Structure 1
Amino acid sequence: MRSAVRPLERLPKAHLHLHFTGSMRHTTLVELARRHGVSLPESLEQNWPPRLRATDERGWFRFQRLYDIARSVLRTPEDLFRLLGEAAEDEAAAGSGWLEIQVDPSGYAARYDGLTATLELVLAAAEAASARTGVGIGVIVAANRTRHPLDARTLARLARQYAERGVVGFGLSNDERRGRALEFEDAFRLARRAGLLSVPHGGELQGPRSVRECLDHLEADRVGHGVRAIEDPYLVERLATQGVTLEVCPSSNVGLGVFNELAHVPVRRLFDAGVPVALGTDDPLLFGPRLLEQYETARHTFGFDDAELAELARMSIRGSAAPEALRKQLLAGVDAWLAAPPEPAGAA
């Protein structure tokens, strides 16, 4: 056991993989559910966090159902402002100076007067949260791969309209088994032309082919998860050579059954192979641990020393869409963190 450590909450970092509803605090979920008369299942209330496994369609359906129930407690503009404000507070407490939060406006549009009004509300909430906490926030508009590719084109056009007003990337999420990346090539082409980062999910529930399609057809700057790329050494070498960042979410990977234990998530193997890795949380509302815990896992489960933890933080910052001035500030902060002497364990 280490007698002296550098506090991980003081390590500047960026958080690149966090979903909108999934960022909600559990206490907020319970409070809003009671306020709006939403009945929560035991797995989202007394027995939280729920036990999940999504390696088959039935398990994924249960995961998606719980997410949809959680989303249903968001009823008013004030709820969205609260969610993003608390998310930014949690990021600040974890040492994160930049957050990219992912949202599919179509999941909220019926309640918030349409796609455009929903996105504008999210952007306003992000701006207010950033101003209050000092955490920079960029919004990623994400298409749902289980819906028709034309829906993704609609979202890409919407994201393009707000490329200079807080939208920084275009993503693709949900069950990989029900929508291949190559089917969404046109939507991503529209988004890239507006200068948005291409950040699709891949290599979570499906294997290396899913990641290759993100690279070949969507020209991915980053890949959400991407952990099953480890099954193909040539793909790992390609990711390292091209500098494509993988947004690895260890707690989520175990929570959904992609790997049976934290120690099996290939964070160390990908890092040692030269692949840029940005630790993320995915949906802490459903999986429990937040960003700081992912770095603690890297230290205690994957054996990362402080120099390697600093490099993980740098990778997250370099892979982000943070403004250049903020990026330089955060990178300088990482260097300062590493240059400072360790502190006695448990020190404030």
Structure 2
Amino acid sequence: MDRPAPPAPPPRDIRSLPKAHLHLHFTGSMRPGTLLELADKYGVHLPEALRGGKPPRLRATDERGWFRFQRLYDIARSCLREPEDIRRLVREAAEEDVRDGSRWLEIQVDPTSYAPRLGGLTAALEIILDAVEATSRETGLGMRVLVAANRMKHPLDARTLARLAVRHRDRGIVGFGLSNDERRGFARDFDRAFAIAREGGLLAAPHGGELAGPASVRDCLDDLRAARIGHGVRAAEDPRLLERLAEARVACEVCPASNVALGVYETPGDVPLRTLWDAGVPVALGADDPLLFGSRLADQYAIAREHHGFTDAELAELARQSVRASAAPVDVREKILVEIDEWLAL
């Protein structure tokens, strides 16, 4: 008589899987409760979408939807007015990441958005960098900054930001990005800003291939010489582009929950995570804007497991890919990779 097969071991805890977090926006990292407290502190009226206790219903595949998303983001950002608010946001973002198993966080910020209330552009950046440095020391989380230009502003503004970022490279700035609606303007308009950043030793990580299709990713590669792509999921629509990303080892910072929340895909299962994986494209899962999308880093790994059938071994490899795509020092990367192997050996 055949003996019954032994029960399958329970799945490992995703939160304890060591990982790097490469796609997290500054204001978007805020805890909802913190936003409510700061809004009350400064008398800011929050729309129901930001005070209802649930992620707002968003769909940014048309201009009206993207405008609503940006309006909510701008209202939330207006509640960050003093250095102590910046310090609180950074500390709490780090605490959430540590809880989700992150060992390394590269938080993305456009300091021009905070400059009017914090004493100017340089002062705002230095307050942010001070907060990141102190928080990293206090929490043990490796934490660095990626300065991002705004695609909706003039390319000369991006050059100013790139020069500022390079000047503060020794304070923990590791990369230069380009955010906001990728359907506006051309990547090549920002080529000089990215050249300044690259020549200054910063990693190029512009957004592309989410709201716009594969051409947006190609433009980031051709015009901005991207080392990483923020999102990049629409590359799945072009097999040749997938081959190019895989051969060049350009990682895509995939944010499944935000892809669904913004209407790029209808369900978590529709996000082409498997397509990128099967093509050999490096993937670094990210939470994007937890304040607006309602999920943090570990939730993205849960989506990979529950909706795409990723095994624990595959989840561990996703974590490794996030670490390899990071700007962490070699010794830090090696330490995290060992910890990932130990998680898988449990």
Query: Which bin holds the TM-score, normalised by the shorter protein?
Result: over 0.9
**Offset at 1:175?**
0.3
Structure 2 CA distance for partners of 1:2 and 1:175, relative to 1, 3 Å: farther
**Offset at 1:10?**
1.3
**Offset at 1:48?**
2.5
Residue 125 of structure 2 aligns with which residue? 119
**Offset at 1:182?**
1.1
Give the secondary structure class of the aligned counterpart of 1:151: helix
* 2:22–2:106 CA contact under 8 A, matched in 1: yes
Q: How many residues align?
A: 340
Separation in 1, partners of 2:303, 2:120:
40
Letter matched to residue 206 of structure 1: A
Give the secondary structure class of the aligned counterpart of 2:68: helix
Residue 343 of structure 1 aligns with which residue? none
Residue 234 of structure 1 aligns with which residue? 240
Map 1:64-75; keep pairs closer than 5 Å.
64-75=70-81
2:215 pairs with 1:209:
yes
Letter matched to residue 102 of structure 1: Q
Letter matched to residue 229 of structure 2: V
Residue 190 of structure 1 aligns with which residue? 196
Q: 1:18 aligns with which of 8, 17, 24?
A: 24
- String of CA shifts for 1:83-116, please: whole Å, max 9, x gaps: 0000000010000000000000111110111111
Separation in 2, partners of 1:230, 1:46:
35
Q: 238-247 or 320-329, which moves further after superposition? A: 320-329
**Offset at 1:260?**
0.8
**Offset at 1:179?**
2.2
TM normalised by structure 2 equals 0.97
2:304 pairs with 1:298:
yes
Residue 225 of structure 2 aligns with which residue? 219
Q: 1:332 aligns with which of 317, 338, 341?
A: 338
Q: 1:277 aligns with which of 264, 283, 287?
A: 283
Separation in 1, partners of 2:319, 2:89:
25
Letter matched to residue 303 of structure 1: G
Separation in 1, partners of 2:78, 2:152:
20
* 1:42–1:48 CA contact under 8 A, matched in 2: no
* 2:32–2:53 CA contact under 8 A, matched in 1: no
Q: 43-52 or 235-244, which moves further after superposition? A: 43-52
Which structure 1 residue ranges, 5 or more long, are not aligned?
341-348
Question: What do you get for the CA RMSD once the two structures are aligned?
Answer: 1.0
2:328 pairs with 1:322:
yes
Letter matched to residue 318 of structure 2: L
Identity of aligned pairs, percent?
A: 65
* 1:254–1:260 CA contact under 8 A, matched in 2: yes
* 2:22–2:253 CA contact under 8 A, matched in 1: yes
Separation in 2, partners of 1:220, 1:199:
6
Map 1:113-192; keep pairs closer than 5 Å.
113-192=119-198
Letter matched to residue 284 of structure 1: P
Which structure 2 residue ranges, 5 or more long, are not aligned?
1-6
Separation in 2, partners of 1:2, 1:227:
33
Letter matched to residue 74 of structure 1: L
Residue 246 of structure 1 aligns with which residue? 252
TM normalised by structure 1 equals 0.96
Give the secondary structure class of the aligned counterpart of 1:110: helix
Separation in 2, partners of 1:273, 1:213:
20
2:206 pairs with 1:200:
yes
**Offset at 1:202?**
0.2
Separation in 2, partners of 1:338, 1:131:
28
2:285 pairs with 1:268:
no
Residue 4 of structure 2 aligns with which residue? none
Q: 1:258 aligns with which of 228, 246, 264?
A: 264
Give the secondary structure class of the aligned counterpart of 1:99: strand
* 1:101–1:137 CA contact under 8 A, matched in 2: yes
Give the secondary structure class of the aligned counterpart of 2:207: strand
Letter matched to residue 28 of structure 1: T
* 2:14–2:301 CA contact under 8 A, matched in 1: yes
